[in-house]
Amino acid sequence: MDVRRVVTGNDVDGRAVFVSDEVVNPITISLMPGGEFHDVWGADDVPTVPTSGPPPRAATWFPPTGGFRFGFFTVGSQSSRPLDLDPAAAFAEMEEKLPGLAATLERGHPGMHTSDTVDWDLVISGEVWLELDDGKEVLLRAGDCVIQNGTRHAWHNRSSEPCVLAVAIVGARRVG
C-alpha cells in the first residue's frame, strides 16, 4: 500500500506552510510475509506547537509513557505464512527494523503480545480476527474499530486478502 504523508508547520513569520509531501515506504520483515508497517509519525514525548514541522524523535515501535505513534499495519493473508526461516535471523531483522516489537511477543504463541499502550485500531480494508486471553476472538471488518487498553492480544488474518488497519498508539503507564 502506498501511504502519502503531508506535513504542515509554521514558517519564521508564523504562517502555516506545507513542510513536506512524500511517500512513506513500508517496513517489511521476513517473519511476517505479506505484512507491512507504515511508520507515519510519532514522538517519544508530548508534542509542542507551533513547530517548523520536522519529524519528531521516535526510537522504538511502541512509544514510552506520554509518547505516541500513528501509522498503518497490514496483516498478510493466510496464504502468506512464513516458510523456512532462521528464527534468530528473523528476530534480529525485526529488532533492527521495528525496535522493541520482538520483546513484546510471547514465545510459543505466535503473534500474541502485550504493550504498555492504548491503541486505537481502525480496519480500513479486509478482515482480521482479534484474539484475546483464553482464545476468545472477534472478527473485525472494514469500518470496525478497536480500543486496546494494554491488553494481551494477537491478530490473525484467515482470509485470502490482506487486512489494512490505521493505528494510533499512546504510551501508557501500567499500574498494578
Alpha-carbon gap, residue 42 to 58, rounded angstroms: 6
Q: Spell out the domain ranges in the chain.
A: 3-171
pLDDT of 83? 63
Residue-level pLDDT at 82: 58
Q: What is the pLDDT of residues 116-135, one digit of tens each?
A: 999 999 999 999 999 999 99
> What is the per-residue pLDDT across 16-58, written as a single tens digit (0 to 9) for each?
999 999 999 999 999 899 999 999 999 999 888 888 888 888 9
Residue 72 parent element (H or E): strand 68-75
Global pTM value? 0.91
Q: What is the pLDDT of residue 80?
A: 62
CATH for 3-171 is 2.60.120.10
Q: Are 57 and 29 in contact (CB under 8 A)?
A: no
Average pLDDT over residues 100-119: 93
Beta carbons within 8 Å of 50's beta carbon, 6+ residues apart: 9, 10, 14
